[in-house]
Amino acid sequence: MSLLLAPWATRRRQDLLELLDRLDPTIKELTAAVEQEAKKPPEALRLMTLPGVGPLTALAFLLIKKSLTEPTLLEMSGNPQYLPNLSKVRSKSRASG
């Protein structure tokens, strides 16, 4: 028994299937890139040994961890401890010039 769809629903389903066909190569390319990147950091490899953790989840976790542990440019711009020591910069430029 097949489900009969209204003509607009049939058309919409066909449009979506065509869109999926066009997107599929890009999805495969991006998936391969994520898998390659996940092989680089040892932490990602360890995370992927856990059940249910794949390359995308491992990389996302590492990015979140990094964002929580390293200051952002916005945070650094308002905090003097992150500003370069200008006297060191000036002395290096004088020595090289």
Report the pLDDT value the prediction gives residue 87, as an integer from 0 to 100: 54
CA 22 to centroid of chain Cα atoms: 22
Report the pLDDT value the prediction gives residue 67, as an integer from 0 to 100: 81
Any idea where the domains of the chain sit in the sequence?
Answer: 8-66
CB neighbourhood size of 3 (10 A) = 5
Reading the chain (97 residues) residue by residue, the pLDDT tens digits are 566 778 888 899 999 999 999 999 999 999 999 999 999 999 999 999 999 999 999 999 999 998 888 777 666 666 666 666 555 555 555 555 5
Distance (Å, whole) CA 48 – CA 83: 38
Q: What is the length of the chain? A: 97
Token pair of 73 as six digits: 């440019």
Report pTM: 0.58
Token pair of 50 as six digits: 């856990």
